[in-house]
Structure 1
Amino acid sequence: MTTDGTGTHGAILADTVPEGGDTPLVELRNAGKSYGNIRALHGVDLTVRPGQVTCVLGDNGAGKSTLIKIISGLHQHTEGEFLVDGCPVRFSTPREALDKGIATVYQDLATVPLMPVWRNFFLGSEMTKGPWPVRRLDIDRMKKTADQELRNMGIVLDDLEQPIGTLSGGQRQCVAIARAVYFGARVLILDEPTAALGVKQSGVVLKYIAAARDRGLGVIFITHNPHHAYMVGDHFSVLRLGTMELTASRDQVSLEELTNHMAGGTELAALKHELAQVRGVDVEELPEEKDLTAPVANPGEKAS
């Protein structure tokens, strides 16, 4: 796929939050997905709004990957509704989702390690020049555009000719985010972007997630790390065994409560009296059995 114009390139800018009042960019209502007799997701509600980071948390097997596949157009939901800009949709391919402005950055980043940074930035959507049928790559324009777009996201690289494989994991994640923003993404799905990164590089990625939010994108941040989620999240949804165990805005849940949900605090609390009978198990720090989904009485006292 090549292009000689800007098209939707750079369509999302700092002052261009999509209009439409309270209409979410993406919304799932009681959505579910079954593979034959296997029910991978059931009764999932999710709302993604412009200028917000929606964090989806869950352990392995919770249903996070299935949720990504539905929103990105790889799989179709078998229950409930999937709406984009308030209109029901049923994507057949990821290209249809991209056409609606839904871009996904997977863990493998879909990059070619030995290619330069600027080539990876335009991979599959290269700019060309000259008359048909002797069109050729517009290398200078692609380099200039890639450098400018990366700088707009606060990413400064000394040499765009260096192979992208020589960048750190955090830098590669940031290039992938900038690429999605440039090609007109309105909803950015990030699949475990900090899972394989150290503390410093994770902080770099979280910084650019916040930058994408500030530019008006709706961000879906998939993670199993509640601390990373709480740093940048505006709304939190916790999946457990294919169902939504918790959905709460930032002022309705504390980091401790979010961590308890991720760690199976409800189950541990129910088993606390049994664990107390096991020699060598300290149950003093385990949570008490209570309704962790109950609204916070005084949100103003919660950690920010």
Structure 2
Amino acid sequence: MSNTVIRRVAAAVSATAVVTLGLGLGIGAGPASAAQTSATVTTAQIKATKTLQGSGSVFPGDVVTYKTQFSVTNAIDAYLNKITDVHPAGFTYVPGSAKLTAASTSSVTPAVDDANNKVSVSNSLSAWMLSKNVNRTVTFEVSYKVPDNAPAGTFDSGLTFDVNTWQSTQVFNPIGVTIDVQAPDTATTTGLTVPGLATAGTAVDLTATVAPVPAGGTVQFKDGGTPIGGPVTVVDGKATLSHAFDANGSHAISAVYSGAGRFLPSVSPTLSVNVSGGDTGGGSGSAGLPFGSS
């Protein structure tokens, strides 16, 4: 960069930065609201637009991606030598996700500062060029995992960057690009009620009860691991199948809830139905455990 251009750049630097956004929240959780997925900031002749890829509504365990594009607003070239993305507290950098696009796109190895919620890329030897003259912009992309135990709420993010020949870091933290973390998935349990005894060829009721009451889903009853009939729709937390056993002996019955929406699948314990050709005796079994329990 020539001395003339350096002087022009230095003269263009203003102490006032302009931020264009519709929502500004501090880093951290807050009341749930519609996420603002993009914000533009301007300082001197540099414009930066940070965008959250996707709808902005996520769940614990999801991966989110932020992309920030830098450009100049006049004919004076500028050179970036450091970009720092500030992410919500507790979010963790996804290794290998950082990409820097200048003259070309390449993967970069950032400096990860979990304690301060920052991921930075630097280029002290050859700063990244911003130019209207040669249509040159710079884009930094980075992804994070939402914590598995993240509370529901709205989380903001931030941005800082350093420009070659400028005397201070440009800070926009928070920037107003927000993300809404929804309530986590709801675990379910499936209970099972079957008759203790049944007569071959005579229909009996097999009933599954799913708690808490889910918004939809089906239950597949099984005999020794083999499906009995088709899936039964869960209504008000219950699914009942009328079934006639055609073979005498002990039948190991279980029920598998499919899950629906944010309600997780679950499976009942196995209960026995003793089938014979004689009279049906009394007694029944009833139990319930979460999916994966024994």
TM-score normalised according to structure 2 size = 0.26
Between Structure 1 and Structure 2, the one with more strand by share is: 2
Between Structure 1 and Structure 2, the one with more helix by share is: 1
RCO higher in 1 or 2 (8 Å CA, sep ≥ 6)? 1
